[in-house]
Amino acid sequence: MPSAPLTHAQIWNALDRLAARAKLTPSGLAKKAGLDPTTFNKSKRITPDGRARWPSTESVAKSLAATGVSVDAFVSLISDGGHTRSVPLIGFAEAGSGGYFDDGGFPVGKGWDEIAFPAVNDENAYALEISGESMMPAYRDGDVIVVSPATPVRRGDRVVVKTRRGEVMVKELKRQTAKSVELKSLNANHQDRTLSLDDVVWIARIVWASQ
């Protein structure tokens, strides 16, 4: 029997997996390949009138060259999935806005994008794209962190913390007691923080970073 033709979804999923292998977002892959950063955005995959828009051969070729991946390896990303899964993605700056998380720190609501990443053993895991330089040298602008709200948090873990004021921060957990949480800044230019446990909505562990 003849093999089934490639589908629009398979090609785009393979590009997402290619980006994940290179520890990049789709926009990061496009930039690394010398393309417009929006080339691989979800919004570019369907035309305004609802037709499927395929990536160009040139954009795929430049992406393979930029990541050092062969055509055969790219085909394997189409056929076997590359051992990745999709997780919800938003920008870190958006994370403090209402509607993206429930009170337990689990992703909810609309407005999330998706990105393929190496498998994480938490179906509620999500990704945040870092913006700015406030978390250097640990995380730089454009890095992506994967957060697992179901993973237990221990001293020394890098965590994402949301306060009742809507502030979202990335810190290292120094100590947690029945009344307070002590957090170490990842950037020496920023002060450590001690928060009352009553002021903390949730704490979630960072389990992967695109570095």
Distance CA 113, CA 94 (A): 12
Distance CA 180, CA 118 (A): 34
Task: For residue 140, give Cα distances in angstroms to 69, 177, 207, 211.
Answer: 25, 30, 16, 9
Please give the pLDDT value at position 3. Answer: 45
- CATH class of the 8-79 domain in this structure: mainly alpha
Residues 147, 124 contacting (CB under 8 angstroms)? no
Q: What is the pLDDT along the chain (211 residues), one digit of tens a residue?
A: 344 567 888 889 889 888 888 888 889 999 999 999 999 988 889 888 888 899 999 999 999 999 988 887 787 787 655 455 678 888 888 888 778 888 888 888 777 887 766 556 678 889 898 988 889 888 888 888 889 998 899 999 999 999 999 899 999 999 999 999 999 999 999 999 999 999 999 999 998 887 5
Please give the pLDDT value at position 85. Answer: 66
**Backbone torsion region of residue 148, taken as left when φ is above 0, otherwise alpha when ψ lies between -120 and 50, otherwise beta:** beta
Please give the pLDDT value at position 81. Answer: 53
Distance CA 94, CA 85 (A): 23
Please give the pLDDT value at position 1. Answer: 35
Please name the CATH architecture into which domain 85-209 falls: Ribbon (2.10)
Q: Domain coordinates of the chain in residue numbers?
A: 8-79, 85-209
Q: What is the pTM of this model?
A: 0.61
- The angle at the Cα of 78, spanning 112 to 82, to the nearest 5 degrees, equals 70
Find the DSSP H helices in 41-85.
57-67, 71-79
Distance CA 192, CA 201 (A): 18
Distance CA 110, CA 40 (A): 20
Strand partners, 199: none
